[in-house]
Amino acid sequence: MTSKDNKIVEIFIPGPAGRLEAKYYKSKKNTSPICLILHPHPQYGGTMNNKVVVETFQTFMNNDFSVCRVNFRGVGKSDGEFDNGQGELADAAAALDWLEKENFDNSQCWISGFSFGSLIAMQLLMRRPEINRFVAISPQPNVYDFSFLTPCPTSGIIISGKKDELVPFESIDELNKRLSSQKGIKVQFDVIPDANHFFSSAGEKLTKSLNKYIAKETELY
């Protein structure tokens, strides 16, 4: 577990549309893995202080990661305005650049996103070969086209709720079938039976799923 001496700090990262507001925790462990966490849709109230994003951040922190969560352009104190995903992808790339420079000796590079953030996370994954693992929480393959993931370049986990009110289960199942047919990578699907899209009453189960996956995928490092 992490030492309580290291604090979560507010930082500003240079981004393509101005500065990006972020929260950052640096592990005291040398060569610690890193993770960037992306928030839900800005036009529906998504910020880096979203409950699921904060819980995900804390989970990575407790697993000795150096971890960063960032507000996309136009959210909170971040400069700029919403850009339909393209600008947000550029913001995520800038945040990952910053995180890598701060932790040049990292042992693993992870990306995580919740809802709309999972779409941006997966798009970034396709462009950055150094990303080793991904965590996609409540993706919306019924709203966004995830066909760009064929082939998916690395292993990861997709966590969704069986009672997701925004995504029919068939859409998640279809994504599962498409990704599980690929050789050389393993995409784990964890469907939490009583969880909705926002994991309103299933936060502990989400954390448990994350902890289990992180422990399994970092034990060799």
- Mean pLDDT score of the chain: 95
pLDDT at 76 over 70: yes
pLDDT tens column, 12-69? 999 999 999 999 999 999 899 999 999 999 999 999 999 999 999 999 999 999 999 9
Longest CA–CA separation in the chain, Å: 45
Q: Which CATH class name applies to 9-218?
A: alpha beta
Of 35, 53, 197, 172, give the one whose Cα is nearest residue 106: 35
Residue 92, CA distances (Å) to 37, 40, 48, 64, 99 in order = 9, 13, 12, 22, 10
Split at pLDDT 50, 70, 90, the class of 221 is low
Mean pLDDT of 156-177: 96
pLDDT tens column, 56-74? 999 999 999 999 999 999 9
pLDDT of residue 132: 95
Mean pLDDT of 180-184: 86
Q: Domain extents for the chain?
A: 9-218
pLDDT tens column, 185-200? 999 999 999 999 999 9
DSSP summary character for residue 183: S
Mean pLDDT of 102-110: 97
pLDDT at 5 over 70: no
Residue labelled with tokens 């913001």? 91
pLDDT at 100 over 90: yes
